[in-house]
A and B are shown apart, each in its own frame.
Chain A
């Protein structure tokens, strides 16, 4: 039973991964990635890592991929691929780099000895992979990487908010315009959405006129 399930999910995992890069339509690519991530969660389940499987589905399929689907279905759901194909030299280089990466990974995996394939593999200890065990590991052995990762996510969140504010449209009426030194160092024509629709503009201090515009929009 476990073997049948393993091969079914393994085929789905690999199929999803190939689909991501092989499919022309970006929307189908994203869906293939969803299939891949959910099959990967099933593989985790077969390894009795219930918590990791649930986290995989909730975080990746439930949050990250939702944003992907959101964006792609807005801008790229058409049958035509986006943009022109890569040039010939670029393709050769990408194959070379891909091959090099595969070689490195193959050496690393072979170097681990693949002991589990012939023998029984590591024995299952009761409680392994349970939320409690993972929490204990995260707060003892892996405390520093855990905190660094959370700090990284915090920086990303702050960065996202900053970028969204710079593009305008988020300021409430009556809010004072804020200027950053970077605004003056930045070359004209780079970045803001206001510039995209009509020349370089500073963030406008909210005037009654712009307030009514917002209300109409």
Chain B
């Protein structure tokens, strides 16, 4: 096995990088309509109704109709809003969400027509830290959107986002420390390679659970969708948004869901590796990763249909008093076990 690009600080030629960026972006963007219609269909089934079934066969063209509807809407903003910030905020959200995609590994380094191509945007030596940095930038998309709207509900939603994001990012980061210590590297492809024998979900099960729960809060999904709790604050930070700007927020949320699922697959579920010694050809790698990811995406939707929204103080005390101590304990125990068995 060749050393991974992160270890040798090797970067591919610029035209490969651009090609890869376009391909990854296009594939993930095409996933979003499927995800949206899948969510609505599944939610319908969970609630004993049909879900969308009017546009196209089985209602599969519904997201297409949605996008046309949203894109042709009038651009508007409230009188009290701050114009440039109002327009900038959704862009920040989308950019941060797509930026995090660039380090997700979809497969090993492949020999395509004699050129060595890694099936990922970049293999950086900081790995998950890059995703957390993008999460930090994404916060400003939500915060500025809520603040610049000039509306109380938007502002409350943005404030909730601020508190929720910093509370849960800590636990999310600490949950990954155990994996990083076991693998001895931060590079995501190296972490996948280190899972040849056993997926990290088995030795790091507690870390996986913490990461999973914190991910729901990070992506503002039910039961932690206090940021956009429609029963309390209308729509949270995007109350005043409509048309394509609203679509941007929507896409950012769903892409974030994909990113978090992809990270979980990469870090805890062996990325493109299959269990029981099955060794498929290299071109199947991305399909394996996307297949595993879709399981998590369905799980996200399932949880949304199952659990009621928690109260705000419950959310906060759960994050600080349960998740964070557990994550710290997980890190400590992992460190002790590693040193003892080394």
What residues make up the interface of A, taking CB atoms closer than 8 Å to B?
27, 31, 34, 38, 41, 50-51, 53-55, 57-58, 61-63, 66-67, 69-70, 73-74, 77, 126-127, 130-131
Contact = CB atoms under 8 A, between A and B. Distances in A.
Contact of A51 (B126, B136, B163): B126
A54 B162 contact: no
11 contacts: A27-B147, A51-B129, A53-B133, A54-B129, A54-B132, A58-B129, A61-B133, A66-B165, A66-B166, A69-B143, A126-B8
Given A31-B144, A61-B133, A131-B129, 12 more contacts: A27-B147, A34-B140, A54-B126, A54-B129, A62-B137, A63-B169, A66-B139, A66-B143, A67-B166, A73-B158, A130-B125, A131-B125
B83 to A, nearest CB: 14
Contacts of B166: 62-63, 66-67
Contacts of A38: 137
Taking each of A54, A69, A130, which has the highest tally of chain B beta carbons within 10 Å of its own beta carbon?
A54
A62 B136 contact: yes
B159 A70 contact: yes
Contacts of A53: 133
A124 to B, nearest CB: 9
B39 to A, nearest CB: 28
A51 B128 CA distance: 11
B136 A57 contact: yes
B296 interface: no
Contact of B186 (A27, A31, A70, A131): A131
A181 to B, nearest CB: 29
Contact of A50 (B124, B136, B173): B124
A138 B251 CA distance: 41
A78 to B, nearest CB: 12
Given A70-B159, A70-B163, A58 B125 contact: no
A58 to B, nearest CB: 5
Interface of B: 8-9, 124-126, 129-130, 132-133, 135-137, 139-140, 143-144, 147, 155, 158-159, 162-163, 165-166, 169, 173, 186
A197 B9 CA distance: 60
Given A51-B125, A51-B126, A69-B162, A62 B143 contact: no
Contact of A57 (B124, B133, B143, B162): B133
Contacts of B125: 50-51, 130-131
Contacts of A74: 159
Contacts of B135: 62
Contacts, number: 69
Interface centre among B126, B147, B155 (most CB of A within 10 A): B126
B14 to A, nearest CB: 9
A199 B147 CA distance: 35
Contacts of A73: 143, 147, 155, 158-159
A54 B124 CA distance: 11
A154 to B, nearest CB: 14
Contacts of A27: 147
B282 to A, nearest CB: 27
Nearest to A27: B147
B81 to A, nearest CB: 13
Contacts of B155: 73
B187 to A, nearest CB: 10
A130 B123 CA distance: 13
Contacts of A34: 140
B129 A55 contact: yes
Contacts of B126: 50-51, 54, 131
B137 A61 contact: yes
B202 to A, nearest CB: 25
Nearest to B169: A62
Contacts of A126: 8-9
A147 B165 CA distance: 28
A127 B187 CA distance: 13
A4 to B, nearest CB: 14
Contacts of B144: 31
B136 A58 contact: yes
Contacts of A130: 125
A69 B126 CA distance: 27
Nearest to B180: A131
B290 to A, nearest CB: 27
Nearest to B124: A50
A61 B147 CA distance: 17
Given A51-B126, A77-B147, A131-B186, A70 B136 contact: no
B129 A70 contact: no
